[in-house]
């Protein structure tokens, strides 16, 4: 047993010395390899964490949201739909939602403006999310807005409507409230010249969860211009949100993978004459085929394992300690308001195992297989050269 | 006697495994620590009847992806998906994909 | 010590380019002796060395090491015996480039699983013995011809073999280094090592340390052979 372990250590020693001979190239390979693992792992971690977060936080999202389409565009929903929908069997309650997007030209930010019943008796007051409180105008010093501060809004007539901040949503809730501005119904209608008798969409509560689809179908039949969105749809949206098949991620991944394949190319296409000569020498001085193959295994495994651990660790730091800094330019895009939150770390052994198999195994195999033939040459070939 | 390469490497691997272990522990701990905050967020979602996480405020289709329909990006701009980086990262919700639309 | 009985080796048997390297050779090498194999190139010296040193199997005939018959042993046992019993010095040294002298010397011992410290100690002692003390961490490429040769010898001795086999060891050496080589052989003989040298260098043949000269031509023994 001790001998077996010592043999491993010895062969690993030689393999590492051997890798160090082509330091530059192997270092480049390691860096690219680590990058590939880093990207894959980052996306995996981000997607998993968001999935979990969404599943937990959106668990009680409305059963059904009813929208209306006119000429393929999302349109306002007449409030009289409320009564007709409320009469459908299985529907427990129907409520209109008034909300929209407000573009603040002074700061360049876009808010999600919502009517809240809590502010019904407080016209002129608003509740804002963390991202809104960080609002700043160009040339102005940044100062977080708090209770008592006044935000200037432009109403539909072009006049100014100042609204006073009555409270700020807690920082821990930014994941859902970052860009929210809650207003009273009066202020909402004034800001948007929102027509009476209309709502942005309707919230429907269903008695029995299993009946959601049936009720949705009934609503569609009742109002053919309506478009119901089920809670299941909402939750599934977040299960798939950062699918690796999405646009930019595929490109970046493909690029990194290509770089990796190029560097690993000479491994996969078989051994150079120099390497074959060295294997011949090893066999001549007493190494068996299994010793040579073990060396080749370690050659691949050493690089893959390093890249795996480095890549995974860096990905963890990236996603959970820097809030996916590298993805921010993509998620933020042209917008001004960007939410600030720390995702709860979500890493599972199963995920890591899959990542391990996807990243470590192929390269290690690619290093051993081409060496098979050379490893089995007769030891006397070196003598006869 | 200088440290053997193999031993250094083994130490590095051990460190790697340790770090992975720490990540798993961090996950478990953070979950517990964040429970209260998660409940708070959930309560806000329920009270305000929210439907989406605020991941970006760039366009309608990426701010409220679950409420978007296939044409929402085009309401912003005919070339919307090209011009808005967040759309390049976030993927079409399942219920909008072809076989789902037929519902 | 080593006994070859009517041994033949044919390469590419059954094909157009079949080539008989060794043809019906019988030879006994006594322990502790230094034997020189002489003959022109192509005479089969190298092949005979390979056969004697368990590097290749004969096409026909039998080979005995002490009392063990090698020809009937499976591959793995053969390699193990070869590792423990034989040390090889090649014509072109065949050291691994980019790796230190010490590691080169220790290489043959790696697969045996012997403790690192023990092997390292032996390697350093061998380097001392061969006048290479302090060169352990040098890159093999930086060595002079003589130093490389001595490194090759040290490597051949790392597993403390009973038999040292050298193939044209002086082919790339000048007279001084050749004489030094033969002196090293003398020292090893004094320690009880059996030595087998293939060479067509008269300097080797005429060295006082040689106990016996065996001549080969066209794969057959011409002089000095014995019936086992």
Using one digit for the tens of pLDDT, what is the confidence trace for C60-106? 888 988 888 888 888 778 888 888 899 999 888 889 988 899 999 99
Query: Does C108 or A373 have the greater pLDDT score?
Result: C108
How confident is the model at residue B100, as a pLDDT?
43
Strand partners, A249: none
Please give the Cα distance from A140 to A131 (Å, whole number). 17
Q: How many CB atoms neighbour CB A260 within 10 A? A: 21
Is the predicted pLDDT of residue B103 greater than 50, yes or no? no
Which residues of A lie inside 8 Å of C (Cβ-Cβ)?
2-7, 9-11, 13-14, 17-18, 21, 278, 281-282, 284-288, 291, 378-380, 382-385
- CB C172 within 8 Å of CB C10: no
Domain hosting C152: range is 2-223
How confident is the model at residue C224, as a pLDDT?
61
pLDDT grade for C227, boundaries at 50, 70 and 90:
very low
- Domains held by chain C: number: 1
Is the predicted pLDDT of residue A253 greater than 60, yes or no? yes
Return all residues near A250 (Cβ < 8 A) that are at least 6 apart. Answer: A244
- A192/A257 same-domain check: no
How confident is the model at residue A383, as a pLDDT?
65
Query: Does A4 or A243 have the greater pLDDT score?
Result: A4
Q: How many CB atoms neighbour CB A259 within 10 A? A: 17
Which segment of A111-115, A277-281, A365-369, B21-25 scores lowest on mean pLDDT? A365-369
> E strands within chain C?
2-11, 19-29, 34-38, 60-65, 68-69, 86-89, 163-167, 194-198, 212-217, 220-223
Joined tokens for residue A269: 């296409």
Q: Among A217, A239, A261, identify where a domain stops.
A: A239
pLDDT grade for A221, boundaries at 50, 70 and 90:
very high
How confident is the model at residue A364, as a pLDDT?
85
Query: Taking each helix axis from N to C terminus, what angle separates A2-21 and B5-48, rounded to the nearest 10 degrees?
Result: 80
How confident is the model at residue A205, as a pLDDT?
93
pLDDT grade for C205, boundaries at 50, 70 and 90:
confident
How confident is the model at residue C40, as a pLDDT?
82
- Domains held by chain A: number: 2
The ipTM estimated for the assembled molecules is 0.87
Nearest CA of chain A to the CA of C179: how many Å? 23
Q: Does B1 sit within 8 Å of C120, measured CB to CB?
A: yes
How confident is the model at residue B98, as a pLDDT?
64
Which segment of A231-245, B15-29, C87-101, C154-168 scores lowest on mean pLDDT? A231-245
Residues of chain B positioned with their CB less than 8 A from the CB of C120: 1
Model confidence over C11-20: pLDDT tens digits? Answer: 877 777 778 8
Domain hosting A308: range is 2-57+242-383
Model confidence over C97-118: pLDDT tens digits? Answer: 888 999 999 999 999 889 999 9
Residues of chain B positioned with their CB less than 8 A from the CB of A333: 56, 58-59, 84-87
Is the predicted pLDDT of residue A204 greater than 50, yes or no? yes
Please give the Cα distance from A89 to C172 (Å, whole number). 101
Query: Does C228 or A21 have the greater pLDDT score?
Result: A21
> Phi and psi (nearest 5°) for B101?
-60, -25
| Closest to A217 measured CA to CA, from A52, A361, A85 | A85
Model confidence over B39-91: pLDDT tens digits? Answer: 999 999 999 999 999 998 988 888 998 888 766 666 655 555 556 677 767 77
How confident is the model at residue C8, as a pLDDT?
87
Mutate to test the interface with C, among A7, A17, A276, A286 (most CBs of C within 10 A): A286
Q: Does A4 sit within 8 Å of C110, measured CB to CB?
A: no
Q: Does A10 sit within 8 Å of C111, measured CB to CB?
A: yes
Please give the Cα distance from A297 to C84 (Å, whole number). 25
Q: Among A239, A254, A279, identify where a domain stops.
A: A239
Write down the mean pLDDT value for chain A: 87
Model confidence over A111-140: pLDDT tens digits? Answer: 999 999 888 888 899 999 999 999 888 777
- CB A215 within 8 Å of CB A206: yes
- A143/A212 same-domain check: yes
Q: What is the dihedral of CA A282, A283, A286, A289, to 10 degrees?
A: 110
How confident is the model at residue A267, as a pLDDT?
66
Q: Does A284 sit within 8 Å of C88, measured CB to CB?
A: yes
How confident is the model at residue C223, as a pLDDT?
67
DSSP class per residue in C97-123? TTSBHHHHHHGGGGGGT--HHHHHHHH
Query: Does A246 or C183 have the greater pLDDT score?
Result: C183
Nearest CA of chain B to the CA of C122: how many Å? 15
In a domain, C228, yes or no: no
Return all residues near C225 (Cβ < 8 A) that are at least 6 apart. Answer: C25, C26, C27, C214
How confident is the model at residue B22, as a pLDDT?
93
For residues C156-185, average pLDDT: 88
How confident is the model at residue A92, as a pLDDT?
92
Q: Does A172 sit within 8 Å of B40, measured CB to CB?
A: yes
Joined tokens for residue A156: 């539909």
Q: Does B42 sit within 8 Å of A56, measured CB to CB?
A: yes
- Identify the H or E element spanning A246: none
Nearest CA of chain B to the CA of A383: how many Å? 31
Q: Is C20 exposed, middle or buried (0-12, 13-18, 19+ CB in 10 A)?
A: middle
Residues of chain B positioned with their CB less than 8 A from the CB of C117: 1
Instruction: List the single residue in C46, C56, C107 with the smallest CB-CB distance to A285.
Output: C107
How confident is the model at residue B17, as a pLDDT?
94
For residues C175-201, average pLDDT: 88
- A233/A246 same-domain check: no
- CB C70 within 8 Å of CB C4: no
Q: Which residue of A has its CA nearest to C91?
A: A383
Nearest CA of chain A to the CA of B99: how many Å? 14
Is the predicted pLDDT of residue A225 greater than 80, yes or no? yes
For residues A55-70, average pLDDT: 92
Q: Among A181, A212, A239, identify where a domain stops.
A: A239
Note whether C120 contacts B: Cβ–Cβ < 8 A.
yes
How confident is the model at residue C226, as a pLDDT?
47
Q: Is C211 exposed, middle or buried (0-12, 13-18, 19+ CB in 10 A)?
A: middle
The residue assigned the tokens 């008269």 is: C202
For residues A49-76, average pLDDT: 90
Residues 49-108 of A with CB under 8 A from B: 50, 53-54, 56-62, 65, 67, 69, 72-74, 95, 97, 101
- The CATH number for C39's domain is 3.40.50.300
In a domain, C99, yes or no: yes
For residues C150-168, average pLDDT: 91
Q: How many CB atoms neighbour CB A223 within 10 A? A: 17
Write down the mean pLDDT value for chain C: 86
Return all residues near A351 (Cβ < 8 A) that are at least 6 apart. Answer: A44, A45, A48
Nearest CA of chain C to the CA of A291: how many Å? 7
| Closest to A197 measured CA to CA, from A67, A80, A70 | A80
Q: Does C100 sit within 8 Å of A14, measured CB to CB?
A: no
Note whether C116 contacts B: Cβ–Cβ < 8 A.
yes
Nearest CA of chain A to the CA of C93: how many Å? 10
């Amino acid at each position: 047993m001790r001998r077996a372990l010592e043999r491993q250590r010895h062969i690993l020693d030689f393999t590492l010395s051997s890798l160090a001979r082509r330091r530059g190239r192997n270092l480049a390979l390691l860096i690219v390899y680590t990058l590939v693992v880093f990207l894959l792992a980052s996306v995996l971690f981000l997607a998993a964490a968001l999935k979990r977060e969404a599943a937990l936080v959106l668990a009680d999202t409305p059963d059904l949201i009813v929208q209306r389409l006119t000429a393929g565009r999302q349109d306002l929903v007449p409030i009289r739909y409320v009564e007709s929908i409320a009469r459908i069997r299985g529907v427990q309650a129907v409520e209109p939602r008034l909300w929209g997007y407000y573009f603040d030209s002074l700061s360049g930010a876009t808010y999600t403006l919502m009517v809240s019943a809590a502010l019904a008796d407080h016209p002129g007051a608003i509740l804002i999310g963390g991202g809104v409180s960080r609002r700043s105008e160009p040339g102005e010093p940044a100062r977080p807005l708090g209770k008592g501060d006044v935000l200037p809004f432009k109403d539909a007539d072009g006049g100014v409507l100042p609204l006073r901040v009555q409270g700020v949503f807690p920082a821990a809730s930014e994941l859902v409230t970052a860009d929210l501005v809650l207003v009273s119904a009066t202020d909402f209608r004034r800001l948007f010249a929102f027509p009476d008798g209309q709502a942005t969409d309707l919230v429907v509560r269903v008695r029995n969860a299993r009946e959601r689809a049936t009720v949705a179908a009934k609503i569609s039949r009742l109002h053919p211009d309506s478009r119901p969105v089920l809670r299941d749809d909402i939750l599934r949206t977040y299960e798939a949100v950062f699918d690796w098949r999405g646009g930019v991620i595929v490109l970046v991944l493909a690029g990194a993978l290509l770089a990796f394949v190029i560097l690993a190319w000479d491994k996969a296409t078989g051994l150079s004459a120099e390497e074959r000569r060295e294997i011949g020498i090893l066999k001549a001085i007493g190494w068996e085929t299994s010793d040579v193959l073990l060396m080749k295994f370690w050659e691949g495994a050493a690089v893959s394992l390093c890249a795996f651990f480095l890549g995974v660790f860096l990905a963890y730091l990236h996603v959970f300690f820097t809030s996916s800094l590298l993805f921010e330019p993509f998620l933020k895009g042209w917008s001004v308001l960007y939410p600030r939150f720390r995702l709860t770390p979500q890493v599972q052994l199963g995920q890591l195992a899959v990542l391990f198999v996807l990243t470590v195994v192929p390269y290690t195999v690619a290093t051993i297989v081409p060496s098979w033939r050379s490893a089995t040459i007769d030891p006397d070939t070196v003598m006869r050269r | 006697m200088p440290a053997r390469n193999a031993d250094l490497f083994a130490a590095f691997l051990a460190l790697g495994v340790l770090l992975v272990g720490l990540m798993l522990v961090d996950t478990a701990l953070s979950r517990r620590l964040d429970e209260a905050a998660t409940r708070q967020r959930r309560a806000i979602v329920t009270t305000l009847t929210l439907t989406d996480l605020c991941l970006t405020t760039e366009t309608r289709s990426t701010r409220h992806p679950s409420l978007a329909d296939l044409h929402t990006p085009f309401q912003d701009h005919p070339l919307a998906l090209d011009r808005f980086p967040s759309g390049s990262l976030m993927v079409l919700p399942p219920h909008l994909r072809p076989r789902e639309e037929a519902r | 010590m080593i006994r070859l009985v009517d041994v033949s080796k044919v390469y590419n048997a059954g094909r157009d380019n079949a080539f008989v390297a060794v043809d019906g050779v019988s030879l006994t090498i006594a322990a502790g002796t230094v034997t020189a194999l002489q003959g022109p190139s192509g005479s089969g010296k190298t092949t005979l060395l390979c056969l004697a040193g368990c590097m290749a199997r004969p096409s026909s005939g039998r080979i005995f090491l002490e009392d063990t018959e090698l020809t009937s042993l499976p591959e793995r046992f053969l390699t193990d015996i070869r590792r423990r019993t034989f040390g090889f010095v090649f014509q072109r040294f065949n050291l691994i480039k980019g790796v230190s002298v010490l590691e080169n010397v220790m290489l043959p011992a790696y697969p045996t699983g012997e403790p690192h410290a023990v092997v390292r100690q032996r390697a350093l002692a061998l380097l001392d013995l061969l006048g290479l003390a302090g060169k352990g961490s040098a890159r093999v490429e930086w060595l002079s011809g003589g130093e490389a040769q001595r490194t090759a010898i040290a490597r051949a001795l790392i597993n403390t073999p009973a038999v040292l086999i050298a193939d044209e060891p002086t082919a790339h050496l000048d007279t001084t280094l050749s004489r030094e080589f033969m002196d090293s052989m003398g020292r090893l003989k004094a320690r009880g090592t059996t030595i087998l040298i293939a060479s067509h260098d008269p300097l080797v043949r005429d060295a006082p340390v040689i106990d016996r000269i065996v001549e080969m031509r066209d794969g057959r023994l011409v002089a000095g052979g014995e019936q086992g």
